[in-house]
Amino acid sequence: MKPQPHIKIEGTSKFQIGEIKDNNTVHYDFEKIKTYLNIKGHLLFGKNFKIYKEDEELIFKLCSYFIQDHFTCAKMGIDTNKGLLLTGPVGCGKTSLMKLLPYLAPHKTNYEIIPTRNILFSFNASGFEVLEKYNETKNYCFDDLGLEPTGCHYIKECNVMGEILLSRYDLFTNISQPALSLSKGRILTHITTNLNAVELEKRYGSRVRSRLRSMFNLICFNSSSKDKRI
């Protein structure tokens, strides 16, 4: 059967999020995408999930990135060859969106999402070999960057996520390596965080902050965004 990336199937229901036109190019419909995301969100996170009106501008940016609409992204200043740095207040929906949006076009954007605190727990138990796992040609989303404690293994302290981000920068810039990424062979990293740029620099240092500018598109929730978990 011919692939139909514009048709999403959930159980016995079909959701059309666009049309195929112009030499098999999918033309996506944002209103239909929102309908599908609400349904998929209910399935993943429960009946209280919904797309909030005040978040639609941000979600449109993210959707354009995940479907790899290069033209629309360029108009909004988003580089589809970079990862995403999604920031916002506690409970605004960052993690849920990073889990949900890959379902739009999994053949274009894929990654493993890992809470940073889990990485620190692994480091404290197993040591520096844990760092090697993230020095691979694989895409990751590091969730809740900045909430993790300082790593410590056999009294040796380590800014674990800082070291991992420096390694991920080297992978990102070395486009000659084989990769699972579909973006010109680059290995992509994504991040969710409650921290702003100044706080990130204080936590991880100026070397990491300067590399974040090269690696990521900064997408920010409004600072007044409500806590959707309440």
What is the per-residue pLDDT across 89-116, written as a single tens digit (0 to 9) for each?
999 999 999 999 999 999 888 999 999 9
Average pLDDT, the chain: 88
Tokens representing residue 56 in the block:
């639609």
Q: Following DSSP, what letter does each residue of the chain receive, concatenated?
A: ----TTEEEETTEEEE-EEEETTTEEEE-HHHHHHHHHHHHHHHH-TT----GGGHHHHHHHHHHHTT-HHHHHHTT--TTSEEEEE-STTSSHHHHHHHGGGG-TTT---EEEEHHHHHHHHHHHTTHHHHHTSSSS-EEEEEET-SPPEEETTEEE-HHHHHHHHHHHHHH-TTS--S-SSTTPPPEEEEES--HHHHHHHH-HHHHHHHHHHEEEEE--TT---TT-
The residues near 56 (Cβ < 8 Å, ≥ 6 apart) are: 34
| Radius of gyration for the alpha carbons in the chain, expressed in angstroms and rounded | 18
Reported confidence tier of residue 149, pLDDT bands at 50, 70, 90: low
The residues near 20 (Cβ < 8 Å, ≥ 6 apart) are: 4, 6, 26, 27
CB–CB of 159/204 below 8 Å? yes
For residue 229, pLDDT beyond 90: no
Distance (Å, rounded) from C-alpha 82 to C-alpha 72?
15
Average pLDDT over residues 49-78: 96
pTM of the model: 0.90
pLDDT of residue 25: 84
Question: 10 Å Cβ neighbour count for 27?
Answer: 11
For residue 143, pLDDT beyond 90: yes
Percentage above 90 pLDDT, the chain: 61
Distance (Å, rounded) from C-alpha 103 to C-alpha 8?
9
Tokens 């990485």 -> residue: 119
Reported confidence tier of residue 2, pLDDT bands at 50, 70, 90: low
Query: Angle 114-119-120 (CA atoms, 0-180°, nearest 5)?
Result: 145
Choice between 51 and 230, residue whose per-residue pLDDT is larger: 51
**Best-predicted range by mean pLDDT (3-7, 40-44, 182-186):** 40-44
**Best-predicted range by mean pLDDT (10-19, 59-68, 199-208):** 59-68
Q: Where are the domains of the chain?
A: 7-80, 112-220
What is the per-residue pLDDT across 151-183, written as a single tens digit (0 to 9) for each?
554 445 678 899 999 999 999 998 645 444 444
